Chains A and B, each alone.
Chain A
Amino acid sequence: SAVISQKPSRDICQRGTSLTIQCQVDSQVTMMFWYRQQPGQSLTLIATANQGSEATYESGFVIDKFPISRPNLTFSTLTVSNMSPEDSSIYLCSVEGQVGNTIYFGEGSWLTVV
């Protein structure tokens, strides 16, 4: 399986600030996904990061709040903008797994907004 490295792994952020999460994969992948997991909740897809074009956002998520970059086939960033306590979550970078249409998750970035 691919090795996914996320930075930061954990952070405490002030409300109103923005934070960029970086995701590096050790091999080229076509599809990269960003998920959010709020405390004690399930996993929700934020967007699919497309190489060379704008990300595809899911309902309820907008580019202004969660801008995403995908400059190449091994790297992506997710920015959480103008954070509020409601943005306290685990943000998970993921790629398509070895078994088709499954998801392989990175270790996540645990953000707390105070």
Chain B
Amino acid sequence: GQQVMQIPQYQHVQEGEDFTTYCNSSTTLSNIQWYKQRPGGHPVFLIQLVKSGEVKKQKRLTFQFGEAKKNSSLHITATQTTDVGTYFCAGLIGGTASKLTFGTGTRLQVTL
């Protein structure tokens, strides 16, 4: 079956440093989505990328979708303690939301 892997599993940064998580799918995707889960919370949708090579920005967050539509990245510039949490990518292969496969997740810890 489809697999979606993320690296790193865990990263600890000092506030102000940059952070990047990478997402790789074993199959070509219709779209890629990113979610954030704060400690003790539930996953919250951040963004969806659909087009090959697409780049989207949300304030300090930059999301990219690879040319082959099999990988994606999330880059956070100048991390803040509010960025703490686990970031999941989720790949869709056609169909409906029931065909989403969530990645393994990257847990980000930010300290002062």
Contacts and interface: CB of A to CB of B under 8 A. Distances in A.
Interface residues of B, number: 21
Interface centre among B41, B42, B43 (most CB of A within 10 A): B42
B48 to A, nearest CB: 6
Contacts of B102: 42-44
A16 B33 CA distance: 37
Nearest to B35: A103
Interface residues of A, number: 23
A42 B105 contact: yes
Interface string A24-65: 000000010100000001111100100000001001000000
Given A42-B102, A45-B98, A56-B98, A103 B42 contact: no
A87 interface: no
Contacts of A104: 45
Contacts, number: 54
A103 B45 contact: yes
B42 A101 contact: no
A101 B96 contact: yes
Given A42-B88, A99-B48, A31 B97 contact: yes
B108 interface: no
A103 B104 CA distance: 17
A97 interface: yes
B100 interface: yes
Interface string B78-97: 00000000001010100011
24 contacts: A31-B98, A33-B97, A42-B105, A45-B98, A45-B100, A56-B98, A59-B1, A92-B43, A96-B97, A97-B45, A99-B45, A99-B48, A101-B31, A101-B96, A101-B97, A102-B33, A102-B45, A102-B97, A103-B33, A103-B35, A103-B43, A103-B45, A105-B42, A108-B42
